[in-house]
Amino acid sequence: MKTINVVQVASEMVPFAKTGGLADVCGALPLALEKLGQDVIIVMPGYKAVHNLKQPAVKRLNEGISISRIGKNINVYFIDNDEYFNRDSLYGEKTGDYKDNLDRFSYFCRKALELLKELGFKADIIHCHDWQSALIPIYLKTLYAEDDFYKDTKTIFTIHNIGYQGLFPKAEFPKLGLSWNVFNMEMLEYFDKINILKGGIVFSDLINTVSETYSKEIQTSQFGFGMEGVLNKRRDSVFGIINGLDYSIWDPSRDKKIFQTYSFKNIKDKYANKDQLQQISKLPVKRTVPLLGIVSRLAEQKGFDILSEGIDAICKMDLQLIILGTGDLKYHQILEQMVKKYPKVISLSLKFDDTLAHRIYAGADIFLMPSKYEPCGLGQMISLRYGTLPLVFKTGGLADTVNEKNGFVFDKYSKDELIKTIKKAIKVYKDKIQWNELMLRGMKLNFSWAESAKKYIELYERAKGK
Ligand code: ADP
């Protein structure tokens, strides 16, 4: 296979900065591509978190650029700018998104394109992820249209979540340095606002999302968040590639963050994790009671609307519930009230905590992920490997990975269906033989990156031929 030169441009990636699955994907895909012989570099913002990291080392390369390395030989370049990126959060605070996000990410995209020229890295493909890097395909087809350096460079735009589009007031348009010609309904305009994601869809050579089902769903008004029309126009260029999982991070047989390692060969050891998890969560240590875990952003997308409607009834069942997450204040408050009411049933950690996340995946019996929509979802894939049966709503990547042979699925989005499915799961939990069968089947599934990375290489080849 001929080597493809790929630049991954993203606003977060493991191990440098993470708020969600995007970081997992952008950290793992380059490694998988490198293993398949491709030449990869990465560009991301140099946040405060990046510069505070001890391992891997991040060094200043020159004014405004730092560098680190992952895998065997993958250079990671950070676009530095104290004013824009030396902040505690990536995108905003509890009160909302940073007001200057358009300045921040347009700066990031412009600098990324200049950096490639400085490095002399002639990319076959620039692979952009979500709206924060979507200005790159836009700039390439406008400001850089006549630039010889980029004449053979193609762009792939991956949509990890179409609910986040980068919407800004029209008045900010001049900041982008683009001609007003692109501010129209066919391009960057959306109901008199700037829509960066829409521009990414229009101007990139190929588009994909992170599961087959989601790539179809977003072309409908139910899931398209207003982008269904523009996506439909480009339907021959829209693909779906399921995310993989980085099993060097997510594997219970070698996970150093969990209390006791285990695999499908010694599944009993999983329950030592349950005991300890109950203990640190201040719940009664009891193996017979099913322990439900949630690791999630606390957002409506993740099913917290039906979950909070049904939470009182759920807490009355014979179960325990451990929730780790941050997000909408509304859900923080509802859940805090529930903890006061049912302190022996529900344990709540309103924070981002990677170690605790690993411990929940390992210690829980059931992983609750009733997302209203889910582009791919990593939580269910992680929990499958940890022998923690996922309970999901049938949508997007959840529909592509979970079924009644490895977990529990409901297909009508309502609190009643959620409650009914939890009841069913609890009933099955009492049948140890059936439960073990389900667990083992899930643990043996393989969502490794190798297959998905091959599909990305096919997509890159397809883009090169455009
Ligand atoms: P998202 O839509 O948030 O990207 P995914 O399921 O694709 O959802 O990925 C979420 C990732 O973030 C998973 O690796 C999950 O374990 C992690 N995660 C989410 N919330 C937390 C938290 N509060 N603490 C630690 N890890 C978290």
Q: Enter the tokens of residue 269.
A: 């050891």
Q: How far apart are the first and last CA of the chain?
A: 19
Mutate to test the pocket of ligand 1, among 352, 355, 380 (most ligand atoms within 8 A of CB): 352
Angle in degrees, 0-180, between the axes of helices 329-341 and 304-315, rounded to the nearest 10? 0
What is the spatial distance between Cα 465 and Cα 291, in angstroms, rounded to a whole number? 51
If you average pLDDT over residues 23-32, what whole number do you get? 97
| Residue 398: partners with Cβ closer than 8 Å, 6 or more residues away | 369, 371, 374, 377, 380, 390, 392, 409
pLDDT at position 1, please? 65
Q: How far is the CA of 371 from the centre of ligand 1 (A)?
A: 13
Per-residue model confidence as pLDDT tens digits over 114-127: 999 999 999 999 99
Residue 396 buriedness (CB in 10 A; 0-12 / 13-18 / 19+):
buried
Per-residue model confidence as pLDDT tens digits over 262-313: 999 999 999 999 999 999 999 999 999 999 999 999 999 999 999 999 999 9
Radius of gyration in angstroms for the set of CA atoms belonging to the chain, rounded to a whole number: 22
Per-residue model confidence as pLDDT tens digits over 34-65: 999 999 999 999 999 999 999 999 999 999 99
Q: How far is the CA of 381 from the centre of ligand 1 (A)?
A: 12
What is the spatial distance between Cα 310 and Cα 28, in angstroms, rounded to a whole number? 36
- Mean pLDDT over each residue of the chain, to the nearest integer: 97
pTM: 0.92
Q: Enter the tokens of residue 397.
A: 């990547």
pLDDT at position 95, please? 81
Q: Cα-flanking dihedrals φ and ψ of residue 314, to 5°?
A: -65, -45
What percent of the chain stands above pLDDT 70?
A: 100
What percent of the chain stands above pLDDT 90?
A: 98
Per-residue model confidence as pLDDT tens digits over 311-367: 999 999 999 999 999 999 999 999 999 999 999 999 999 999 999 999 999 999 999
DSSP-derived secondary structure letter, 345: T
3 state DSSP class of 58: coil
Q: How far is the CA of 203 from the centre of ligand 1 (A)?
A: 30
pLDDT at position 34, please? 97
The amino acid present at 341, given as its one-letter code, is K
pLDDT at position 466, please? 83
What is the spatial distance between Cα 92 and Cα 333, in angstroms, rounded to a whole number? 20
Per-residue model confidence as pLDDT tens digits over 143-185: 999 999 999 999 999 999 999 999 999 999 999 999 999 999 9
Q: Cα-flanking dihedrals φ and ψ of residue 46, to 5°?
A: -90, 75
Residues 4 and 39 sit within 8 Å (Cβ to Cβ): yes
Angle in degrees, 0-180, between the axes of helices 449-464 and 21-35, rounded to the nearest 10? 80
Decide if pLDDT at 2 tops 80. Answer: no
Residues 196 and 227 sit within 8 Å (Cβ to Cβ): no
The ligand 1 atom nearest the CA atom of 25: 7
**Ligand 1 shell residues, CB under 6 Å:** 20-22, 24, 161, 295-297, 324-326, 352-354, 357, 376-379
What is the spatial distance between Cα 105 and Cα 102, in angstroms, rounded to a whole number? 5
The ligand 1 atom nearest the CA atom of 369: 6
What is the spatial distance between Cα 361 and Cα 411, in angstroms, rounded to a whole number? 24
